[in-house]
Chains A and B, each alone.
Chain A
C-alpha cells in the first residue's frame, strides 16, 4: 500500500478548506476527485456552523450587562461637565439609586426622632430628667419664705396645710386700698 502523500491526506484537505494551504497538487486533485470535493465542502460547512454558534452565544449575553458596559464606555468618552453644579447634577443622576436610599433612610430616622421627642409645654426648655423629686405629702417640708418685700403695703404669711400638701399664702394689703383691681 503506497504511503499517502500530504496532498492526498484529509489533513491537507482541511488546511486547504481553511485557506491555510495553497498546493497546486490539491487543486488538481479536487478538480478530478468528487469525493475530495465533497470532503472540502463538508469541512467548510462545519466551519460555518461553529462560527454561527459562537456568534449566537455572544448575542445571548444579557442586555443589562451590555447596557452596563455601554454606560461605562459612554462615561469614558462623554465630555466632562465643566461647572461644579453640572458635575454634581451628573453625579446625582448617575447614582440616583444610592442617593434615594440615603434620603429614604435619613427621612425614616428623622420621622422616628420627631415621634420619640418628648413634648414640652411651652415649646421651649424641658425640665431636666430627675432634676426635682415630688415627695409624698407626709414627707414634705413646710414652705419657707426667704425674702419678702411689699413696697407700699403690709404683708402677712399664712401656711395652709392639708392632705394635698402645703401652701404658703402671702397676703399683701396696700396701705392705701383703692377698690377694684
Chain B
C-alpha cells in the first residue's frame, strides 16, 4: 500500500516515526564525532621517587623508561618507584592540573610546531606549594621532558611525553 493511499493521521504518524529515527541518527552521528574539534594532544605523566639504595630496583610499570633511568645523570639513583601515572589530553592554552603524590603540577599545550612537535609549559611545586620549576620546551612527539627535583638523598621526578 502506498503512503498516498493511507488516511491523513496515519501518514502523519509514519512521518513522525521517520523524523524520530532521523533525529536519533543525527544525534548518534554527533556523539560519534570527537567531543570538540579543538586541537589537543594526549600526554602521559609519570611521577617517580628516586633513591640511592643497596639493591637496585625499578618498578615494573617503569619498563618503558628503564633504559633512560639507568643513564647519567639519573643513574645517580638506583631505586625508582612509580608514585603516580596520569594520562591527560592537553588542549591548546588551557592549563591542565596534574594530580601528584607530592606537590602539584600543571601542563599547558602552547602550540603544535611543524605537525610533529609540541610546545608545552610545565610547572611543578613542592608539598608546601613553593614553585620548583616553570618550564616551556618544544619536544618531538614521543620524546620526553624530565623534571628532576634533587633533594639530596632522593629525587622527585616528573616524566612527560605527548603524542
Would A166 and B140 count as touching, CB distance under 8 A? yes
Interface residues in B106-163 by Cβ distance below 8 A to A read: 112, 115-119, 121, 126-127, 130-154, 156, 159, 162-163
With a cutoff of 8 Å between Cβ atoms, the chain B residues found around residue A150 in the complex are: 132-134
B140-A143 in contact (CB<8A): yes
Bound-state CA distance A62–B154 (Å) is: 91
Q: Given that A125-B91, A132-B163, A181-B154 are known contacts, is A109 also in contact with B21, CB under 8 Å in the complex? A: yes
Which A residues are in CB contact (< 8 Å) with B42? 121, 127
Binary contact readout B29-54 vs A (1 if CB under 8 angstroms, 0 otherwise): 10110111111111000000100000
Contact B49 A102 (CB under 8 A): no
Beta-carbon contact of B145 and A141 below 8 Å:
no
Chain B residues closer than 8 Å to A170, beta-carbon distance: 133, 135, 145-148
Q: Contact between A148 and B31 (Cβ–Cβ < 8 Å)?
A: no
Q: How far is the CA of A9 from the CA of B141 in the complex (A)?
A: 114
Determine the distance from Cα of A35 to Cα of B41 in the docked complex, in whole angstroms.
110
Per the bound structure, the CA–CA distance linking A171 and B42 in Å amounts to 24
Give the dominant DSSP class at B's interface.
Answer: mixed
Q: Bound complex: CA of A150 vs CA of B126, how far in Å? A: 12
Q: Is B62 an interface residue (CB 8 A)?
A: no
Task: Give the CA-CA distance A28 to B74 in the complex, in Å.
Answer: 138
A98 and B133 within 8 A (CB): no
Say yes or no for A172: interface residue by CB 8 A criterion: yes
Could you say which of B68, B87, B119, B154 contacts A122, with CB atoms under 8 Å apart?
B87
Q: How far is the CB of B72 from chain A (nearest CB, A)?
A: 8
What is the minimal beta-carbon distance from A51 to any residue of chain B, in angstroms? 33
Q: Tell me if B146 and A135 are in contact (CB < 8 A).
A: no
> In this assembly, does B56 line the interface, its C-beta being within 8 Å of a C-beta of chain A?
no
Cβ-neighbour of A98 out of B14, B143, B150 (below 8 A) = B14
Once the chains bind, are A113 and B73 in contact (CB under 8 Å)? no
Partner of B89, one of A127, A135, A145, A153: A127
Contact of B28 with A148 in the complex, beta carbons under 8 Å: no
The docked-state distance in angstroms from the alpha carbon of A160 to that of B114 is 22
Does any Cβ of B come within 8 Å of A152's Cβ?
yes
Q: How far is the CA of A122 from the CA of B142 in the complex (A)?
A: 19
Across the interface, A181 reaches (CB within 8 A) one of B19, B119, B139, B156, namely B156
> Chain A contacts of B40 at CB under 8 A?
125-128, 131
Minimum CB–CB distance for B6 against chain A, Å: 11
Q: Mark A158-172, 1 if CB is under 8 A from B, else 0.
A: 101010111111111
A145 to B135, CA, bound (A): 8
Known: A99-B17, A132-B112, A143-B145. A168 touches B151 (CB 8 A): no
Q: A103-B20, A122-B88 are in contact. Are A177 and B140 (CB under 8 A)?
A: no
